[in-house]
Chains A and B, each alone.
Chain A
Amino acid sequence: MSETTRLSLFEAARVVARRDFRAILFSRAFFFFLLGPLFPLVIGALAGGIGGQVQRDVAANLVAVAMSEADTAALQTASDALSDQIGYLPRLVPDASGEPPADILKRKGTNFAAVVTGTLDAPVVVAPEDQIERWRGPVALLAATANGSSPSSFPDIATEPVASSAATSRSERIRTAQAGQLILFLLMMLLAGMVLSNLVEEKANKVIEVLAAAIPMDAVFLGKLFAMLGVSFVGIAVWASFGGVAALLLGNQLPQLPEPALGWPAFIALGIAYFAMGYLLLGALFLTIGGMAATVREVQTLSMPVTMMQLLVFFLAAAAITTPGSPLELTAAIFPLSSPFAMLARAAQSDALWPHALALVWQALCVVLFVSFGALLFKRRVMKSGKAGRAVKGHVGGTKTA
């Protein structure tokens, strides 16, 4: 009888997942989800722009020349002649103001790193103490060239490139690992937030009691989690398509990441698997919170510690990147919430496959535990009583019990 009088757990989860998947896919939230990656890109571009500007400002190599007119011209000629061969020469700016060198350095609207005074035979470099050694050699070379005491021709330099050292390769792969972790983290946070608001909305709509009466809470949880996972895969497919088009159009102009130790196909496959596990773990936590909270404010209050914890585990996994095999990295790989991040970083840096199989089994086990515990807690907490019962504490109807 039981086979025909109820839906199985997965059938029930499918009913919920199908509804949620369609509802989210055709919602504004999904549109914003698709735009999600644009925000880090824009912020990254802005930050890069500002950073580049800052770097340019910091690395300014303007040097004022406060010498006689003839010496200044000779120095400029020497600079022009040498600048093609020597990259670290200063850009010279004649200054005939007659002001003391210290005042020239402080003058507003300029950005001089040093001032050269004196004569070509005895030049004087005026600059802050920590900068002065930087300009001693270049100014000496320019002065020597200007007064003819330096060689005027330079031999051609042959180049002989070598393969990068082991240290360089590892250091480059860390960039891939970091990029992978960051993308994983952003995606997971975005999705977990969406699944939480989805559940809160459901409680606000009061549909949850209908669901709870018809199917087990585990099925509601699974349905919601996997619907969001499906939505995220649609999103990833859309982004991948746009990425592919961008790659075809822009080719080598796109920033390149070093190839991970396992190769790109395996790294991407593992990235998707770790994303799925990481999201399911975090999503289960957020769903549990959503189940316990009655209002949006309560959700925000309760989800704050989890968000903070998620940041901490992200930092833990990020810190462990540089020390593969260390106790820190092993801890990050074992702790369920940081495990997907740590293992993705490992996929970028190490070519061993078996740890990933082990980690995925462990994470899947944790997902089952998290979902079951969340559903249990939800069932216990969410359906407390009818309309009037909520207000009366310590009473049965009108009879005090404690």
Chain B
Amino acid sequence: MLTETGFMTRPPADPAAKLAIEARGLVKRFDDTLAVGGVDISVPEGAIYGILGPNGAGKTTTLRMLLGIIDPDVGVRRVFGHDRPHEVAKLIGYLPEERGLYPAMKCDEAIAFLGALRGLPLDEGKARGRDLLERHGLGHAVDRQIRQLSKGMAQTVQLLGTLVHRPKLVVFDEPFSGLDAINQGKLEAMIRELAQSGTTVIFSTHVIHHAERLCDEVAIIAGGRVPYAGSVDAARDRIPAQVRLETKVDTGDWRSALPGDARHDAKAGGNHFWYFPVPDSGIETLLKRLIDGGAGILSLSIERAGLHDAFVEIAGEAAARALAEDNALETGR
């Protein structure tokens, strides 16, 4: 399905689907720091779910609580119906934000070890590891030690180790961080492939485009709270669609057809752009009045709000600014 912004999305998740993760009122405090102040999340099985927010918003702490790495001070979380996530550890794969492997291990050993932690026999893990490395273009590095790999290669090895036991739920914490554009694309493809095979994927990110391109549902997190959790479409629909009008001139009778708060933007080439909500009277009436009034229409489109606009609307300007700064930092890295 192609959206107005040109992004490919998957069909919406089945609302009746069973939940892979359900969290209610998660609160976590570290000394006098409230890291997460009440998070509610429902992740349907088979969905791609994004946790979107600036750095320091509580994304990692939320994921760690969901996975049982830390316990919440208040609230409950269930993974595949279990209160204790370790009970279903074999069904989960986790790639932390701060990647880490034993430097002295060989690539296939590292993948097998990560699989063994999730119950996969070592020999089988090694065999699968070799196969995965081959399929992802790292066949030549099977017997190399992790310390001999580039950062990107090591990251790929850890990613493969996260998936080697074929989990039903995969959790990625900032998976795109530190990857170049090509590898980001590969990872996006891998996430889609996982979801198509029925695996639930949750990832945190501070890059809106990744969430918008990939996710069925998102939780927007800011200041340790989740002001919005639901489908990407519903988030975008919170902001009314906007009319974008391009005219040759900026004066004339036709101006009375535009609402008083229409935003005007004059371009260097002499054309004028106007932005305003779709009028209650309908777009056809508007169009007729503009033509009759001699507006000299060059283009007219109805634009649906993007996830960024929705984020600003939901989380506020400050959070959006923080998100933009994180993105700038990430790009500059």
Which A residues are closer than 8 A to B by beta carbons? 1-2, 4-7, 11-12, 15, 19, 23, 27, 205-216, 379-380, 383-389, 391-399, 401-402
Contacts and interface: CB of A to CB of B under 8 A. Distances in A.
Which size class do B's interface residues fall under? 35 or more
28 contacts: A2-B87, A6-B90, A7-B119, A19-B102, A206-B100, A207-B100, A208-B100, A211-B117, A215-B89, A383-B70, A384-B30, A384-B35, A385-B33, A385-B61, A386-B60, A386-B97, A387-B60, A388-B54, A388-B56, A392-B33, A394-B32, A396-B36, A397-B56, A398-B318, A398-B319, A398-B322, A401-B32, A402-B32
Given A7-B89, A15-B116, A383 B32 contact: no
A295 to B, nearest CB: 15
Given A211-B117, A215-B117, A384-B30, A397 B69 contact: no
Contacts of A6: 86-90, 119
Interface string B84-113: 001111111010111111111000000001
Contacts of B80: 5
Interface string B54-71: 111111110010011111
B55 A395 contact: no
Contacts of A11: 119
A6 B100 CA distance: 22
Contacts of A213: 64, 67-69, 89, 92, 94, 96
Interface of B: 30-37, 53-61, 64, 67-71, 80, 82, 86-92, 94, 96-104, 113-114, 116-119, 173, 222-225, 318-319, 322
B117 A2 contact: no
A33 B245 CA distance: 78
B67 A5 contact: no
B90 A7 contact: yes
Contacts of B99: 206
Contacts of B54: 388, 397
Which 7 pairs across A and B sit closest by C-beta, in order of nearness? A386-B60, A206-B100, A388-B56, A397-B223, A388-B55, A396-B224, A214-B117
A185 B307 CA distance: 63
Contacts of B114: 210, 214
Contacts of A206: 96, 98-100
Contacts of B87: 2, 5-6
Contact of A2 (B30, B82, B319): B82
